[in-house]
Structure 1
Amino acid sequence: MSYQAHFKVWRGDADGGGLAGFDVTVNEGEVVLDIIHRLQATAAPDLAVRWNCKAGKCGSCSAEINGRPRLMCMTRMSVFDPAETITVTPMRAFPVVRDLVTDVSYNYAKAREVASFVPPPGVGPGEYRMRQQDVDRVQEFRKCIECFLCQNTCHVVRDHEENKPAFAGPRFLMRVAELDMHPLDAAAETGVDRKAAARAEHGLGYCNITKCCTEVCPEQIKITDNALIPLKERVVDRSYDPLVWLGNKIRRRGREHEA
């Protein structure tokens, strides 16, 4: 069953723009990305939109639909009232390139700042052994499709441009948490302190765990509860627990004597 819907789509570039209105046919079972493609085919052939898989796995068609960060390919038209005006705008936290396409290079820069996994010394390929509960814990974070909706909705990034240089955002703090929880990561033996880096280099203290990142994650990753809060607890234990502090001081003295 088809019906006519009214869309408002943001058109413009880095110099500015505004909402353009369109009346477009909607067919049963379609998603917002289908409608954007129909607009390209019928009314706005120069409309810029980023997409690839149309299956909710590439993360490229992120936008804001009626003000909520969503994947266009996973937002069914059936969730809206047929009489409702659907507004589609680019992600607000990132600079607009053109129309619905934004410059997400901030995220790639932050990814490069996270020290990579360090294999344990003396363990060859095929010799890694992990308990299933450890596999399950880090596997959840590996479901991330890097749609950057969590980055976009985080108010630390979204509303405060001045925070971006010092704040990695929930997606990459989750990556730090994943590596810090990984039982085979030997980064500490190479001098990489992931907990200290989370606090000093990636801006963990800026996060006030509002859970907005978790709410928009299309993979239902519990970013706040399973990554950010445990990472904060580990950092606090390292920095403020008196027994941990004493143990670290004793170890440092021991290394100084050995040297």
Structure 2
Amino acid sequence: MSAQQEVKQSAAYLAQFRVWRGDPDGGGLEDFKVEVNEGEVVLDIIHRLQATQAPDLAVRWNCKAGKCGSCSAEINGRPRLMCMTRMSVFGRDETITITPMRAFPVVRDLVTDVSFNYTKAREVPSFVPPAGVAPGEYRMRQEDVNRSQEFRKCIECFLCQNTCHVVRDHEENKGAFAGPRFLMRIAELDMHPLDAAPASGLDRKATAQDEHGLGYCNITKCCTEVCPENIKITDNALIPLKERAADRKYDPLVWLGNKIRRRE
């Protein structure tokens, strides 16, 4: 055996994993010991577990590069992407627990039904093009482009939706609350200098408050903390949207201005 092979062999170790197995009718955690090699991520270990011990383990994944958002799960209770969680962040004697996202119904094992999010996406009115301006003629300041570009980095892993306690701990809120991912989308459109929603009679601030549950958000920043793209969801989207919604509803000068514009 070469020295290089000896080093590689010594770097490998057996890790203790607890993985949730089950379906909508119930399930529980099962213990496994799985080989870990240097430089691997949690998704590598899940794949090895499928290949060697649990071929029927259900897990959703696609790109393995932190860009598709498919492999969302909870690792030791924290919502993470399995493909972006390195094994080196855990101690060799640490038991690593993998469970499905808690806010959504289980399909099987680590796969959850995230269709709630697509329903909410369809409820957000899309961009309204400005009248008299062709798509190739849109002009924006660079600072406005940069502001929207941050929100466009979202890979729709739905970790922010999963960790938000408004839906995570209160199933009954799902009908009235869009969640941070889609409130961020509303904020992006409301900040867009070319969005002609007001001219079409659509008040995005009003719909955010009245139809999408903006008032349920109490800005704990848990959504920002789990975002794998490091989007400042709370500071750059939700808080500004709340401020504009409050101005529209309670600021007397804004109220008077709206009255005058409606009269005109």
Provide TM-score, normalisation by structure 1.
0.97
The CA distance in 2 between the partners of 1:78 and 1:44, in whole Å, is 23
Instruction: Give the aligned partner of residue 22 of structure 2.
Output: 12
Instruction: Give the aligned partner of residue 180 of structure 1.
Output: 190
The CA distance in 1 between the partners of 2:199 and 2:257, in whole Å, is 17
Superposed, 1:1-259 pairs within 5 Å as 1-254=11-264
The aligned amino acid for 1:72 is M
Other structure's SS at 1:235 match: helix
When the two structures are aligned, how many residues end up with a matched partner? 254
The CA distance in 2 between the partners of 1:116 and 1:14, in whole Å, is 34
The aligned amino acid for 2:49 is L
Other structure's SS at 2:230 match: coil
The CA distance in 2 between the partners of 1:252 and 1:59, in whole Å, is 44
Per-residue deviation at 1:149? Answer: 0.1
Per-residue deviation at 1:253? Answer: 2.2
Per-residue deviation at 1:152? Answer: 0.2
Percentage of identical aligned residues: 85
Would you identify which runs of 4 or more consecutive aligned residues in structure 1 move more than 2 Å? none
Per-residue deviation at 1:201? Answer: 0.4
Other structure's SS at 1:251 match: helix
Deviations 1:36-75 (A, max 9, x none): 0001000000000000000000000000000000000000
Per-residue deviation at 1:247? Answer: 1.0
The aligned amino acid for 1:28 is E
The aligned amino acid for 2:26 is G
Per-residue deviation at 1:188? Answer: 1.4
Other structure's SS at 1:162 match: helix
The aligned amino acid for 2:138 is Y
Unaligned runs of 5+ in 1: 255-259
Per-residue deviation at 1:85? Answer: 0.3
The CA distance in 2 between the partners of 1:186 and 1:224, in whole Å, is 25
Unaligned runs of 5+ in 2: 1-10
Provide TM-score, normalisation by structure 2.
0.95
The CA distance in 2 between the partners of 1:215 and 1:251, in whole Å, is 41
Instruction: Give the aligned partner of residue 257 of structure 1.
Output: none
